[in-house]
Structure 1
Amino acid sequence: MDPATTIENLHEHIGNARDLREYLSTDLHRPRYHLLPPEGFFNDANCTIFWNGRYHVFYLGRMPNPNADEWLPVLDHSSSCDLVHWIHHPPAIKPLTDGSMPRGIYSGDAIENAPVPTLIYHVPGQGTCIATSGDNDLIHWTPSPENPVIPIPDEPREYHVFDPCAWYENGTYYALIGNKNSRAGYEGDATSLFRSDDCIHWEYRGPFYKSSRRWTDEVEDCACPDFFPLGDKYMLLMHGHRPYGMAHYYLGHYEDEQFYPEAHGRMNWQGGQLSGPETLLDDQGRRIFFGWIREARPWEKYGWASVMTLPRVLSLNKDGDLCIEPVPELEKLRINSYSQASVRVKADTEINIEAVSGDCLELQLDLTPRDATEFGVKVRRSSDGEEETAIAFSAIDARLKIDLTKSTLDDEVRYPRFTPQDEDDGERWTRSQEAPFKLAEGEPLKLHIFLDKSVVEVFVNSRLCLTQRIYPTRADSLGVSIFANGGEAILNSLDAWIMMPTIG
């Protein structure tokens, strides 16, 4: 027991904990089968690792600052043996409250293939730090007495010490440090390569790659980098702070300590909530992705915020493009299955699927456009359509859209187009998330949708996944319907399941 804790205030803490659990359980927008913090706020998936038969996910939770009326970022920790049921552990690394870490701990990574489980992370005002664990459950972590191993330089350098990631290869440690590099010709998103023989003494090697304005704008950055082999290529996955919060990536080749991008892709667009991505390699050789799903409502009065995506498997398809799929372990949550046979959806009509309703669902749909200009599915639909979220494919624009125009009656819910410093003369808020997406000749639209209270994840033909938060207010906003506009479409099949909760 903490020496400062007495029996009397221990009983008070128990009462407060019970009150908090009850308060959080009444929030109708709190997910039931996603990983999320037991309370409070978190951001960024960090330091994910498969170790001793368990999947470990670390993320930036918040702890009270005893020296100020504010919250300090702390490296929180959850783990699972099956990617479905999660348990919460004590914080892996807490910032010191002696004044040396006034802004807490920032993002980092688990060093892939390290001989000993090792975390590498950023401490504001200090630089890059490491910590190691010697127990099989990865509960106890010891920060290195040599921290910071890559200090923030006293004078400006071309590299920027910020979010790190690292890997161990042929007896050498490599680290990507920072989200920008100031060398001429490396404007835009960039990161810097460091190398070490002992993980303590690091040598700067230069910019790791060169971005191109045909793919990204100069204002974009390479925060929370994650670099790894994927199929016969390499992937550099990252978070972008501007012009709006996002996750994006490059595929390319890696040689002689340089990465050469060959393709660029995004994982969310204006109005979406995906950020802070991270991956791990499990014992089946799968590259498992996690990402931070942000809120679209002010979180302070609700007592919690942020959700982790469902685990996703990243791979390359036969064309060498990114393939994104939910982990099959989620199937164990399915109950009360329903299947819909093929049905024709006439032009400018909508068909309610009366047998399917709910706010914790898995849906699989196969649709053929015929001559429809727009078609798709509506979820969380009220009986009169006052609230609904439409997931639509536009054949004219070749775009997949989540239409948020009627997703809630709550005026506090807003989806920004840009960060405040990047706002233009247009509307500040958006009412949709839209992604470029093309169907090949004769290719059906295959939607794999997970609904979990306020979370919507839409996997599209295994090539794309849109991540969204919605906050319906009406108790009857549970319906599902199929629609077609400008022509007819065919619903080839629909399979639906209720998803069992994994948290209270």
Structure 2
Amino acid sequence: MSNELMKKNIDCAQAEIDKKREEVSQGVMRQKYHFMPEVGWLNDPNGLIFFKGRYHFFYQYNPYDSYWGKMHWGHAVSDDLLHWEYLPIALAPSEPYDDHPEGGCFSGSAIEHEGRLYLLYTSGTDYGEGHIQNQCMAYSDDGITFYKYKNNPVIPSPPEGYDVENFRDPKVWKHGDDFYLVCSAKKDNLAKALLYRSDNLKDWKFVNIFAESRGEFGYMWECPDFYPLKNANGEKYVLTFSPMGVKERTTIYLIGDMNYETGKFTYNTIGNIDWGFDYYAPQSFVDAKGRRIIVAWANGWEWMPWWKDWGPTFKEGWCGSFNLPREVILTDDNTLKFTPVKELESIRESEIKLSEITIDEKKLIPTFDGNVFELMLTVDLAKSSSESFDLNLRCNDELSTIATFDLKRQMLYVSRNDSDNWSCGTTMSPLILKDKNLLKIHVFVDQSSIELFTDDYQTNHSLNVFAGDDQNQNYLSVGEGKLVIKELITWKLEKTL
């Protein structure tokens, strides 16, 4: 009976999507090549997997309105990570353990086993004594229609002493003959990652505190992820999460070693996946090419200007998109870089290329579409005398998003205080500048977002910018001295959604 109720609830949600789809598709802030929902609210990526020859994106979803609400799992598939086909909703609230106005089918992950696709997810509910979260399982043989396991929840509560309302976001994987999942938890107002083991995906046993914050990484780790990577020196393990209660760090990675006998992860490298306001809850998976691909929600709870409203797209009947898929690469010094997937090259159009340019004040960046484009820029540091320069994006006479490259102080700032009369704040990060002669910058601009990569994809800033169509000018500017550009290339990008 329970899965019949879920089917009924999915049908109701699909009817709502069908009713609003055409009107919402006309929104002026709709992205052109970043994944987003047809209608309604999207947040965390869930269950990312390559299954039966296609990429599957699941996502936290409220199909009924463009703000956070009772959570469903949306679902879409693709052959190339760029062009997406929306499928019926995969999971809808339907059971006492997940059917609540401030609960639902929360975040989780996917794994294939013996040809069947399994989803491990958090259920959120309230039986009258406060919110609780526990871990549940659903499965599908065709990757489209899912059934909740009859004996859910498979992990009904965290260990004794942990907050029952902060126990979520299971990431599942297989090692040897056993399945493992890491789950976020909270105890004594400190973040914990808990490790569980199973031999059948149904019966789980607590193993150990996998890793934990002692205050330096906040009070809750949302959407933990864990995986191995190899470089020329061997194999290391990566733990990523989005910490709550840590200023200016939305996504952290730790690199170290895993002891499966004790269930303990130890680390010696700490880094940021992205320094921007809008990169949160990333999840990774391995595709058929063997790439470790990571995708994140292009927003973040602590950065939303709640005192205004949910943002310009909310008024268009949708809210939320994903950042571009990136390949995760372990460098030889055991740090990570995150390169936009190569498939993005397939949507390039109308290339403009300039070489050997000297700028002493201001230079217009030529584009065929100043609102939606890709930019690759190589600065000749050896020939430049300027100590700082600005990359001005999505400009008109009054508004602009400004990325300031402070070469003297080795810092990068991205300000959206004057971007669109709604956004605010400045992100900042160190510049690594390993190469003393060249600085390469790679930028993707979409209708309502900017993603900037530099330092060989180790320093990245992602921000939502709700600029109007008249903000279609882009510039390089220099205060003092000269800036020498070795090469500048722009492409118009094909619409994929």
Q: Distance in 1 between matches of 2:88 and 2:250?
A: 29
Name the counterpart of 1:471: 466
Q: CA-to-partner distance for each residue in 1:335-354, whole Å, 9 max, x for gaps?
A: 111001111122xx111134
CA contact (8 A) 2:75 2:87 kept: yes
Deviation at 1:28, TM superposition (A): 2.3
Unmatched runs of 5 consecutive residues or more in structure 2: 6-11, 125-131
Q: Distance in 2 between matches of 1:225 and 1:355?
A: 39
Q: Distance in 1 between matches of 2:445 and 2:226?
A: 30
Q: CA-to-partner distance for each residue in 1:168-192, whole Å, 9 max, x for gaps?
A: 111111111223355xxxx743201
Q: CA-to-partner distance for each residue in 1:137-179, whole Å, 9 max, x for gaps?
A: x101121111111102696348963221111111111111223
Distance 1:22 1:133, change over 3 A: closer
Residue 430 of structure 2 is aligned to residue 436 of structure 1: yes
SS of match in other structure, 1:331: helix
Name the counterpart of 1:403: 415
Q: How does 1:129-168 map to 2 (within 5 A)?
A: 129-135=136-142, 138-152=143-157, 156-157=161-162, 161-168=167-174
Residue 193 of structure 2 is aligned to residue 191 of structure 1: yes
Q: Distance in 2 between matches of 1:456 and 1:341?
A: 24
Q: Distance in 2 between matches of 1:162 and 1:405?
A: 34
Name the counterpart of 1:241: 244
CA contact (8 A) 2:168 2:185 kept: yes
Q: How does 1:307-456 map to 2 (within 5 A)?
A: 307-346=321-360, 349-354=361-366, 357-369=369-381, 370-382=384-396, 384=397, 386-408=398-420, 410=421, 413-415=422-424, 430=425, 432-440=426-434, 442-456=436-450
Residue 268 of structure 2 is aligned to residue 250 of structure 1: no
Distance 1:239 1:210, change over 3 A: closer
SS of match in other structure, 1:71: coil
Q: Distance in 1 between matches of 2:237 and 2:390?
A: 34
Name the counterpart of 2:228: 229
Name the counterpart of 1:94: 92
Name the counterpart of 1:264: 270
Q: Distance in 2 between matches of 1:293 and 1:438?
A: 24
Normalization by structure 2: what TM-score? 0.85
SS of match in other structure, 2:315: helix
Aligned length: 456
Q: Distance in 1 between matches of 2:435 and 2:295?
A: 32
Unmatched runs of 5 consecutive residues or more in structure 1: 4-9, 416-429
Q: Distance in 2 between matches of 1:70 and 1:242?
A: 20
One-letter amino acid matched to 2:258: Y
Q: Distance in 2 between matches of 1:228 and 1:355?
A: 39
Deviation at 1:126, TM superposition (A): 5.2
Q: Distance in 1 between matches of 2:437 and 2:109?
A: 39
Deviation at 1:88, TM superposition (A): 0.7
Deviates more, 1:368-377 or 1:305-314: 368-377
CA contact (8 A) 2:367 2:373 kept: no
Deviation at 1:116, TM superposition (A): 3.3
Normalization by structure 1: what TM-score? 0.84
Name the counterpart of 2:294: 289
Q: Distance in 2 between matches of 1:100 and 1:44?
A: 17
- Equivalent of 1:274, from 255, 279, 303? 279
Distance 1:476 1:380, change over 3 A: same
SS of match in other structure, 2:167: coil
SS of match in other structure, 2:186: coil
Name the counterpart of 1:425: none
Deviation at 1:476, TM superposition (A): 2.7
Q: How does 1:66-105 map to 2 (within 5 A)?
A: 71-96=69-94, 101-102=99-100, 103-105=103-105
Q: Distance in 2 between matches of 1:196 and 1:351?
A: 59
CA contact (8 A) 2:390 2:478 kept: yes
SS of match in other structure, 1:107: strand
Deviation at 1:123, TM superposition (A): 0.5
Runs of 4+ residues over 6 Å off in structure 1: 112-115
CA contact (8 A) 1:63 1:72 kept: no
Q: Percent of aligned positions with the same letter in both sequences?
A: 28
Q: CA-to-partner distance for each residue in 1:364-415, whole Å, 9 max, x for gaps?
A: 0011343322124222121x3x11112221123322221213212x2xx244
What's the C-alpha RMSD, in Å, of the aligned pairs? 2.8
Distance 1:39 1:398, change over 3 A: same
Distance 1:113 1:259, change over 3 A: farther
Q: Distance in 2 between matches of 1:323 and 1:126?
A: 34
Q: CA-to-partner distance for each residue in 1:44-69, whole Å, 9 max, x for gaps?
A: 0111011111111111101449xxx9
One-letter amino acid matched to 2:340: P
Q: Distance in 1 between matches of 2:367 and 2:169?
A: 48
SS of match in other structure, 1:222: strand
One-letter amino acid matched to 1:313: E
Name the counterpart of 1:6: none
